[in-house]
Amino acid sequence: MSPLTPQKRTRLSPAPTGSLKKARYMKNGSDSDDSGSPTVSTDTTSGHMQGHRRKQRPASLTPRKSLDGLYQFGKLQIATPSSSRFAQHSPGIQASHAALEIEEALGMEQGSSEADEADEKEVFNAMNAHPESDADVQSENEVERDVTEAIREYIYPPPLYRFKHTMVDGEAYGPEQAVMEGETLDEEEHASDKPVRVLDKFIFYLDTSRQLCGLGEVYPKIDEDDLGDTESENGDTPEASLIYLGPIVDAYQGDANPYTNALIWVETELAWYILAAPHPLYREAYKPFLIAHTFTLILSRLVKNEPLATPEQFYGIIQDPHGIYNAILRNAGENLDYKLGLVDFWSNIGGVRMACANIGSQTFVSAPLISQLLGQLQPSKPRAPPSKEKLSFISQDAGIQNSVTPLIYQIANKHFLRPLACLGRPLADCLDYQTTSKLAGDLVQTHADAPCHVIISSADSVEGPDGNPAYTCIQINGVRYQRGDIVLVMPGKDHQTKRQHQAQDKSAKSQNDLGNVFWFAEIIYFFKNKKGIVFHAHWLLHSSKSFLHETGDPQELFLINECSNSSVESIVCHVQVDFMGHGEQPEPCFDPSIFFCRFLYQSEKGAFLDVAPHRARNLPFQAADCYPCLLEAEQHLLGIPRLLDKQAILYKGVTYHLQECAFIKPDSPGPYILGQIQSIAKTKDKLRIQATILHRHGSDSRQFYDDRKLCITATSIQCSAERLCGKFYAISQPTTSNKLEHWLELPNHFWIASPELDPQVNSFRPCLECLEHELDVSNKKIRLIQQNPLKALDLFSGCGGLDKTKIITTKWSIENNPHAVKTLRKNMPKDHIVISDDINTVLAQVIQQSLGSYDDPSLPGLDEVDVIYGGPPCQSFSQANGFKKDDDPRHSLSLTALSFVDLYRPSYVILENVRGMVDYHLVNADGEMMKMGVPKLWLRCLTAMDYQVHLSVLEAGAYGTPQCRARLIVIAARRGCSLPSFPLPTHAFPRQPRPIHTPDGASIASPSSMFAPLPPITVKMAIGDLPHFHWNESGTRDFFSPVFTAELGWGYQIAYKSHAQTRYQASLRNPIEKVQQHFTKIYSSLVSKRVVHIPMTPGACWKDLPKNLWDRNWKMKPLRSSTYKRVIEDQYFPTSVCKVDPTSRFGQVLHPNQRRVISLREYARAQGFPDTFIFWTTDSGRTIDELFKQVGNAVPIPLGFALGQTVMFAMVSDHIFI
């Protein structure tokens, strides 16, 4: 054997498909669930459960019969290239580590001797040699299908770097590990199942024994499916480890995405590594290989797609900055820190010829393009595919183009790297904005040259806001200007300095130069002062200067709640602005100087509201009627408590009477103080109240904590009226539990025990007038729900989450994951229609059905949907994903969702996603980056469809979810309907989401949850009633009690540990008496041993383990504090991800007081799922992983309920259906 040939390990046969694994979960006397759920074998000494482990590695490399748009995988030949071909002798590395003492140990000099060259050539030829056999000779039929069906590309061998000088600190690099932070290998894991990692800043070299080795920064490869639709509060990129790689056993080239990149993999004895970018010292040596590989990749794609392609076409696509092939060059160039172009093709033509020959296809090398560019090539004989299971990553998103309607396509397509598919004829742009630059310049010049002659008549005067004369119209240079006219104004100094700064950004430049050069104002009135004649202006903002920036319509203006005085000399001319009525769309116009306006823009709220109620011309005609001025005065008055009479206070729009119950802000963050107002007094400069305190009833005879049950105390509080934070209503205990639960659905509703249980109840006298009004509103809500519940379409529904509000009935769900589909069908009502298909396919079917060319009764009619809601997959945006891709097709899936809105035009739309979407920047085919790209496009598309819309980040814990989970929420309503406000926090939650810093310089704060009506739901309040059990491990069983062993099956039921201890528990248990799916996943014996030895102290983690259970590398590179960490029972769960793994950076998954990780049922309760909701999977493989993934992907139920409630409040305010 040649000394350069890598030693290959013996591979064992893979486990048979369908093999069963051990399980740990709760003790049960019954057999497996006979309802079709997968059966799992058991171990009588275990206490947690698992189906097949999801292999943390790529799938099989076996060549496919058909490409189906996927790029095939082939052998990456590793060999030492001839020094005549690679003449790089750059400075290298001579570190203290023995593995790097290469050239000195081998006695090498700067150049290669002929003997060395001959030896390297011999090894290279040996590695490419193929035994001649009949099987190696391609038949004519095989040749015909080479390119179109089964190409295996043989990649040009990478150069090996020769080390001479100390340029890298070898002592900083540690040995390769079988398991690193963030990886878990199960006990039954097969020897051939290696972890997959990312190798960055790499260098390859020959060690002293002339084996190919490497070093670099290593990250664990995070499976995005395990992240799910979530964002971690520890959402940064995994930390790198500096590692020496052992001898390279094998290498392959495989696809991450056939449009932009083909990954290169190397294998060692311990793991697989995906190559990222080379070390700067290695970059020049790696450059020829990667260039040859990249151009060969492009040529193979082009020949496959266009067998008769010509060299001219090849030159064209290489130079096309918008093309898919250019994206391949750009991605390769990013790894080399170098811009690739056509010149690199010619300068590396030799490498390209060799790489193309190594593809091994006569059809490919004889294609016209290849023969004309590269001459006659003799293809290498392809090696047979590996007989053992090899590793590859076949991207499920390969070739995907998300489908959209023409309107969405027109708005969004140019902003994505991967093009969208337009279902219909694309809309044409009818305006030529090149003329606006000259028009703007001419107007500026004319304004500068013309004198300002002003004529003002006392006949047009009215009384101004200060009592002095004001004027409704004037003449400037013979042109009449009057109240209500919209004018162009020469810009001055914007008092919003951040907005003025952002307006100079490239992204704020519009195609329409009129929007870049001028300001827009509505004239309210004119008046005289010391500076001359001025006008009071109500300002309008060009769409490019709003949140929308570069996505804004060049012809659209937004009214804003800002006004100021400006000299009439700043007026340039009139401008036509059409104010659109409800449902009206701007007509196609060929004049770029004609604008339209539909919305009032509130930058501090990220809101676009119906403009109609906010214009001065809608007010009674008086000179002083400026809407922003009136609004400012009103807000000032609302912020000061006012005494209406001796028995009432008006504060922030709320009237408080004597005997009324009110929330009182405490001195420190937490739940409101609950009080009943007994007296009102006016001091010198403030109003003060005295209130009797009502305590939350801590417990009753059953130790049941009910945060809605109140008891009257003899304690009172005196405080300023400025501490009043809203009203609540309390009633005596109703006669039936149903009526009580109905009453308690709102967070400001409480109840007081009956007089028999609490004699002081007789002393409670509420304000009957206010209570009767609240009961009347509640009855209206009940009638609203009973008469016309809204019919909803749920997109990307997963296993539900946004459909728990009684006002909204989800009639249709679209979901493509078969496991989630089964879960939906098992848990939803019989009339709930689950459409199991790709959302792009369903969109096309809806369009076809609307045209009469398709008929599917399961699809909703275009007039049937009242609400559309959904959360598109978020892994591509989540901060938990440290390896995002610019061309990820999931970036644009939300645009497909908006295409459903475009078709159905429902009354309300709710979209949700991770907070990280706000911080993600889109990159288009030109390489241009758009900050906050997806939120901009959401708002732009919704406003284009005539929807009012606003966005915010809501913390799920502030609405009764026992976990920290910040979500980006967008709520929209058709103009003409009230826009639902964001729900006020119901629970005082200690974590506040980060504000959104908008493109136009504003800051959108989330609703504050530091003070709220109810205390937060803690871990103990959520799961304290579930049965206890510990894991048992060999040698430790006798120390822990109780220890439960596993029984056959996983769909069994087991009795609760106790009665419900909190209202949260009771709401999830009712009406069942036994709990299901209270089991955990199985881990390796070492991981399990570490888990059970974590001390039973709040927040204990890996640092608290006995030192004999530490990994040898932990001292050198400590783990994150969240690894092997216990959940704290008096606090909240961390953000749910889709994989419960104690060894990962999301490893705070240990039960607070039991020696195990949290169970599936406990995980479900952290999301608010009732115990009656059972999770299902369609196969026996990856059973547990799929179940946890469904839970982690869901929208927290309490948050969904709060969003549904705010829709109901909006409907009540509109008096719909009543």
C-alpha 901/C-alpha 907 separation (Å) is: 10
For 770, phi then psi, to 5°, come to: -70, -40
In the sheet with 648-651, reading across from the earlier edge strand, the strands are 642-645, 648-651, 654-657
φ, ψ (nearest 5 deg) of residue 254: -145, 170
Per-residue pLDDT tens for 210-260?
A: 788 888 988 887 665 555 555 544 444 556 778 888 788 887 765 544 444
Based on the residue annotation, tell me whether 1101 is a catalytic residue of this protein. Answer: no
Radius of gyration of the chain (CA): 35
Q: What is the DSSP letter of 1058?
A: S
Tokens of 235: 């959402």
Give CA separation, 734 vs 63, 730, 752, 762, 766, in Å.
Answer: 69, 11, 10, 15, 16
d(CA 979, CA 971): 8
Structure-block tokens of residue 386: 């590996």
Residue of 874, 941, 977, 1101 marked active site: 874
Local structure of 1139: helix, strand or coil: coil
pLDDT value at 1215 more than 50: yes
Tens digit of pLDDT for each residue in 70-124? Answer: 222 233 333 333 322 222 322 232 232 333 332 333 233 333 444 444 444 443 3
251 phi and psi angles, rounded to 5 deg: -155, 145
Residue spans of alpha helices (H) in 135-179: 140-149
Going by the DSSP 8-state scheme, the letter that residue 13 receives in this structure is P
The continuous run of DSSP H or E covering 578 comes out as strand 576-579
Q: Classify each residue of 727-765 as buried b or exposed e, where b means 16 or more C-beta atoms within 10 Å of its C-beta.
A: bbbbbebeeeeeebebbbebbbbbbbbeeeebeebeebe
Q: What is the pLDDT of residue 1004?
A: 93
Average pLDDT over residues 116-140: 40
**103-117, 474-488, 732-746, range with the lowest pLDDT:** 103-117
Distance, CA of 1123 to CA of 1135 (rounded, Å): 14
Q: Residue 986 is encoded by which pair of tokens?
A: 């119901």
Of all residues in the chain, the percent with pLDDT exceeding 70 is 74
| pLDDT tier for residue 266 given thresholds of 50, 70 and 90 | confident
**pLDDT beyond 80 at 23:** no
Name beta bridge partners: 809: 791
Q: What angle do CA 851, 854, 856 make, to 5 degrees?
A: 120
Distances in whole angstroms, Cα of residue 500 to Cα of each of 504, 517, 599, 718, 734: 7, 13, 21, 46, 58
What is the rounded distance in angstroms from the CA atom of residue 937 to the CA atom of residue 461?
Answer: 46
Q: Which two tokens stand for residue 796?
A: 């990307």
Residue type present at position 203: I
Instruction: Quote the pLDDT of residue 1025.
Output: 94
CA distances from 1136 to 958, 985, 1080 (A): 16, 20, 15
- Residue 790, CA atoms < 13 Å, CB-side half-sphere: 26
Q: How many other C-beta atoms are found inside a 10 Å radius of the C-beta of residue 625?
A: 17
The reply to whether omega before 554 is within 30° of 0 (cis) is no
Alpha carbon 486 to chain centroid, angstroms: 41
The residues, any chain, with a CB within 8 Å of residue 324's CB and separated by 6 or more, are 259, 260, 419
Q: Is the pLDDT of residue 18 over 50?
A: no
Average of per-residue pLDDT across 350-358: 80
Structure tokens at 1124: 């092997």
Over residues 1111-1139, the pLDDT tens digits come to: 877 876 777 888 999 999 999 999 888 88
Q: At 827, which helix (H) or strand (E)?
A: helix 818-827
Residues 6+ apart with CB under 8 A from 12: 190, 191, 192
Peptide bond between residue 1071 and the one before it cis (omega within 30 degrees of 0) = yes
Count the Cβ atoms, other than its own, within 10 Å of residue 12.
11
The number of beta carbons lying within 10 Å of the beta carbon of residue 1065 is: 25
d(Cα 94, Cα 1048) in Å, to the nearest integer?
Answer: 59
One-letter amino acid of 148:
T
Kindly report which listed range (128-132, 812-816, 1166-1170) carries the lowest average pLDDT score. Answer: 128-132
Q: Which residue has the higher pLDDT, 1040 or 339?
A: 339
Per-residue confidence (pLDDT) for residue 523, from 0 to 100 = 94
**CA-closest candidate to residue 983, choices 741, 745, 1200, 673:** 1200
- Count Cβ atoms below 10 Å from residue 381 Cβ, excluding itself: 17
Higher pLDDT, 151 or 1120: 1120
For residue range 378-395, list pLDDT tens digits in order: 555 444 333 333 333 333
Q: Residue 195 pLDDT more than 70?
A: yes
Question: Residues of 276-298 as b/e, b for ≥16 C-beta within 10 angstroms?
Answer: bbbbebbbebbbbbbbbbbbbbb
Nearest of 12, 54, 14, 60 to residue 392 by alpha carbon: 60
Is the pLDDT confidence value at 689 over 90? Answer: yes
- Identify the pLDDT of residue 242: 84
Is 682's pLDDT higher than 80? yes
Query: What pTM, to 2 d.p., does this model score?
Result: 0.76
- Would you tell me the crossing angle of helices 283-305 and 324-336 to the nearest 10 degrees? 170
Helix locations, 592-729, DSSP H: 627-638
Question: SS3 for 829-861, per residue?
Answer: CCCCEEECCCHHHHHHHHHHHHCCCCCCCCCCC
User: What is the spatial distance between Cα 63 and Cα 397, in angstroms, rounded to a whole number?
Assistant: 18
Rounded-to-integer distance, Cα 951 and Cα 1065, Å: 31
pLDDT average, residue stretch 269-273: 87
Task: Look over the chain and give the mean of its residue pLDDT values, rounded to a whole number.
Answer: 76
285 and 210 Cβ atoms separated by less than 8 Å: no
How far apart CA 454 and CA 1172 sit, in angstroms, is 77
CA separation, residue 89 to residues 92, 289, 860, 1098 (Å): 8, 16, 68, 57
Cβ-Cβ contacts under 8 Å for 841 (sequence gap 6 or more) = none
Task: Determine the distance from the C-alpha atom of residue 930 to the mean position of all C-alpha atoms in its chain, rounded to a whole number.
Answer: 17
| Residue of 395, 400, 399 lying closest to 59 (CA atoms) | 395
Range among 536-540, 692-696, 1041-1045, 1052-1056 rated most confident = 536-540
Q: Report in angstroms the alpha-carbon separations of 817 from 798, 840, 880.
A: 7, 14, 22
Pairing, β 594-602 against β 576-579: parallel
pLDDT, greater one: 875 or 276: 276
Instruction: Return the percentage of the chain with pLDDT > 90, whole number.
Output: 36
What is the average pLDDT across 1070-1085?
Answer: 87
Q: Write down the pLDDT at residue 793.
A: 96
Where do runs of H (alpha helix) occur along 187-341?
224-227, 283-305, 311-319, 324-336
How far is the C-alpha of 823 from the C-alpha of 1080, rounded, in Å? 19
Predicted confidence (pLDDT) at residue 320 exceeds the cutoff of 80 = no
For residue 521, give the H/E element and its range: strand 519-529
Dihedral of the alpha carbons of 619, 621, 626, 631, in degrees to the nearest 10 = -40
- Residue-wise pLDDT for 30-76, tens only, equals 333 443 333 333 333 333 333 333 333 333 332 222 222 222 223 33
Confidence of residue 262 (pLDDT cuts 50, 70, 90): low
3-state helix/strand/coil string of 44-113: CCCCCCCCCCCCCCCECCCCCCCCCCCCCCEEECCCCCCCCCCCCCCCCCCCCCHHHCCHHHHCCCCCCC
Phi, psi of 1190 (to 5 degrees): -60, -40
Domains, the chain, in order of start with CATH, read 74-374 (no CATH), 434-625 (2.30.30.490), 641-766 (2.30.30.490), 791-1007 (3.40.50.150)
The span from the CA of 48 to the CA of 1045, in Å, is: 8
Rounded Cα distance between 522 and 537, Å, is 6
> Which helix (DSSP H) or strand (DSSP E) does residue 1197 occupy?
helix 1197-1214
Query: What order do you get walking across the sheet with 454-455 strand by strand?
Result: 454-455, 473-476, 479-482
The tokens 């970036």 sit on which residue?
891
Buried-state track 151-169, b at ≥16 Cβ within 10 A, e below 16: bbbbbbbbbbbbbbeebbe
pLDDT at 673 over 90: yes
Q: Is the pLDDT of residue 1089 over 70?
A: yes
Q: What is the DSSP string of 404-416?
A: E-HHHHHHHGGG-
